[in-house]
Structure 1
């Protein structure tokens, strides 16, 4: 299961807004009483409850050592569904917002690996910043390959400049696509690769690392990975039953609906947020049965274990699934 913070939202004050690059805004959050915020680890994100009712996930991009302020960084998306627009146009210093978390689906393990290779595309730099701080302070061997549309759109270049040649900045309008093979080098068993960015970059990194040792690559997506099941295994058109282990109640999940949808139809509330299989809020333990995973979060090893699933998108490969609900 993902490491989670308290699910009850905290009331935090917007203490500052800082422009990091063209269209990229950092929001600094603090407790109104000035007390310390909960501890968090590199790779964690928050659920930001916006004044208009939307809930969006944003990576913590500041330092875990700073217990007085949380920093999230938001790209103004031209095709925004409303979240980034509201952050950029509505939030102002002094506003008070609800925040859930932190939650970590992209954790950096204890620094023991010999080499770390970080790859960021655009706003994907945000969860990598605290990771870099951690491995740098531990004296590990690391490099960052950072791409974006142009230098003007790439956040935190000044902040990263103190690391010198370990950071390779490659704006697309100057260099073209990132040279992943050159940055990563040959497969080695003592290397960890962390990547965050748009789907084409993640797909390219997954392809390059396909022959690397299992567990080498760690990615975080800001949008769901395209799901494509083989026709003979796709259960989207089949109804099935979900047994709620804690109560013994059985709920039928109709064709074309998620488990979360069916539970809500029966007024059964389960914590959830993104409804796209990327945030981990609705992760649920599987007691019996075989889930069909449609999320963009679980590793291949976790999928194969079939002991947990994201019920906002997942379904069942059989007629019945028993969940720890």
Structure 2
């Protein structure tokens, strides 16, 4: 049972705020008024918020923040799970006390978030949480799960495929490995030597990234690789091309390569997030939680996330 840190009085709440853009050092926990939901909105009492690389990337500088529509003072974090606290006028399908999860762009690390009741994008949404899915797990689903679902949909793997996934040990990679395996594919995942055991637990055959990747993959899969997903840059793209994988069956997430399809969470099919939650509830999809921190330790949590060597997800407890 997770322990929640002490919350302020009912008319005030805690939220992570940035008074300037920058690294983890600009993150502060502030006491703010409890927000009120407007028509068509829900107020959610957040119990856990998951961190993603995009959280610190889009708040690192003013130009990047502006592309996401962020202004100072800004919030932090997008993935959340919690309980509906109040519903605004015209809301149907939700009631106070419902367990929910979803996305609240750059404002999720807070005691309360206000989001739209109509399912939209990860920037502003709420979904009912199935029984059997814990708060920390649900808080780690939205961004990484949507992204992995969209990328795997591009590749459309099946039982005859061997899929190479670059960066398989990260938040998106963990979902992508499992979704490809659920589709029946063999999966080879790149990572550091220290991540090999973790990748095997997810169902991937580990291979070290770096110079000579194509040769190592060829030795591991002499029958060939039929699809590839590059989650960090272009190393896996180049290795896949060297191995004869056609561009149409290669997908990128963090880079653009001429001729190669790209995917992000906004491209996920309708219902993808709910399907991921159902898979978790059924015990068919794991959501590894690498670490959990109270909101007061947000800087420490963000530093760990920004290091990009975490095996699994980082969650903030509220």
Say yes or no: TM over 0.5.
no
TM range (shorter): 0.3 to 0.5
- With structure 1 as the length reference, what TM-score do the two structures score? 0.35
Structure number having the greater helix percentage = 2
